[in-house]
Amino acid sequence: MHFKSKNAVIGDAIANWCDRGLVDAETALRLRADLDSGQRRFSFNAFVISAGVVCLCFAAMTFVAANWEDMSRLSRLLLVVLGLWAAWGAALWTGLRGLYWWHEALMLLACGMFGAGIMLVSQIYHIQGNAADAVWLWGAGTMLAALLTRGTMALALAIGLFALWHGMQFDSFAQQSDVNLPYLGWWLVGAALAWWTHSRIGAHLSVIALCFWLLSVVALATAPEQAALFLAGAAVVAISGLLASLSASGWLRGFEGAALGYAVLMLGLVTFFLTLGTAPEPYGGQADDPPTLWHSLLPLIVMLPSLAMAMTGHIRHWTLRYDLWIALGAGVIVLTVHGLPTLPLIPETVLLALFIWITRMGWRLDLRNLRNIGMAGFVLALLVIYGETVGSLIGTSGFYLGAGVVLLGGAWIATRLDPKRGAGT
């Protein structure tokens, strides 16, 4: 196992190939030039610059706080405004000189000063209002700055601020609504900017923010188990879409592998939730009535896009058509088992099988994040089943005995069916 970055590993490999005579010096130079021609990477020097700017920001806020009572209202306001425009001026100057990470860090400082200005102005003039509204205004201004400047750090801050704005409204959801639909509009703006600017950190934060919103919808729903079933179906659709993107033209510009990790992690978390049956009561709500057959099977309709993608892949002979059909089958099994009354230990068996499938998909697609999620989820599922799900030691022993026999038998059969693995397995 190596601990170097991907670029460092590839660079070492190029040097090794050149030393062994597998590639000539000219080809090696072209490969190195191509390796270095990608997006600007966040290096240690960039981290030092960013950390220094953040420290300056905190130093300014601490100085203001220490001398707050001795400053007039006009002095306070001028200090905030001058600091804001000084940061933007410095960002513009470094951008014109091609100092990329200085430019990014100073834009982040300017956006931070904008937020500080909102808070300080509201305090100076005793403006009454909801703190979440101030965060929303900060996020909207920062998103606009990210749009106009294509700033990566400003975009990351904007995505985080809108996620914070969503989280600050949980109490109001208890009396009004379970779903913060306006948040989705702002999330779409951030996700579109991440796609437009080719920002991987923006893409990661966008997916994490969406997962946060989806989980909050399930937690605050009046019927959490039903909402979790719909979320599981949506996760399967997302997995199918990402597999289709990998098979076709790569709509997400190489982000499919990372997004697949988030999608299967969401599916695994929801399946854990459904298996353990520990859904919390809704805020101020009562226990749910037993779901009808229609309500239990309704989430299956969510997966119709997965069926369409699997059929399209079969017709067009996509390279991952097998994985598309398996993903569809896994989703149908999970929703059917947890949507209808079932026999004891069947949900636990499906939970283990789900993480085995995720691990297998990780090896098929050569995606380490899927392998890690699958193996970690399998081990955690074993521990959770041992500690909470199976009622007696005899039942636990029988369950693990059966699971072990099935796994080893499956491995033995797979070895015999795959002649390329014969001797070494």
Q: Which residues contact 211 (CB under 8 A, 6 or more apart)?
A: 262, 265, 266
Domain residues of the chain, as ranges? 46-128, 132-220, 224-282+291-419
Write the DSSP string, 134-159. Answer: HHHHHHHHHHHHHHHH--HHHHHHHH
Residues 297, 255: Cα–Cα separation, whole Å: 32
pLDDT of residue 281: 41
CB 45 within 8 Å of CB 53: no
State pLDDT tens for residues 231-286: 999 999 999 999 998 887 777 777 888 899 999 999 999 999 888 874 334 333 44
Say how many C-beta atoms besides its own lie within 10 A of residue 292's C-beta.
Answer: 9
pLDDT of residue 70: 65
Write the DSSP string, 5-69. Answer: -HHHHHHHHHHHHHHTTSS-HHHHHHHHHHHTTSSPP--HHHHHHHHHHHHHHHHHHHHHHHTTT
3-state helix, strand, coil in the chain (%, to 5): 80, 0, 20
Instruction: Give 108's DSSP letter.
Output: H
Return the percentage of the chain with pLDDT > 90, whole number: 21
pLDDT of residue 240: 92
CB 374 within 8 Å of CB 358: yes
Own/partner pairs, 380-383, CB within 8 angstroms, 24+ separation: 380/272, 381/272, 381/348, 381/351, 381/352, 381/355, 382/352
Q: Which residues contact 226 (CB under 8 A, 6 or more apart)?
A: 288, 291, 295, 299
CA 153 to chain centre: 17
Query: How far is CA 180 from each of CA 118, 119, 136, 166, 352, rounded to the nearest angstrom?
Result: 24, 24, 13, 7, 33
pLDDT of residue 236: 93
pTM of the model: 0.76
pLDDT of residue 25: 75
Tens-binned pLDDT, residue by residue, of the chain (425 aa)? 344 455 666 767 777 777 777 777 777 777 776 666 555 565 667 677 777 777 766 666 666 566 566 667 677 778 778 878 888 888 888 888 888 878 888 888 888 888 877 877 776 655 566 778 888 998 999 999 999 988 888 999 999 999 999 888 776 544 445 578 889 999 999 999 998 988 888 999 999 999 999 988 888 878 888 888 999 999 999 999 999 988 877 777 778 888 999 999 999 999 998 888 743 343 334 444 555 555 667 778 888 999 999 998 888 888 888 999 999 999 999 988 888 776 777 888 888 889 989 998 988 888 888 999 988 888 888 777 766 555 554 555 666 666 666 666 656 655 554 444 444 44
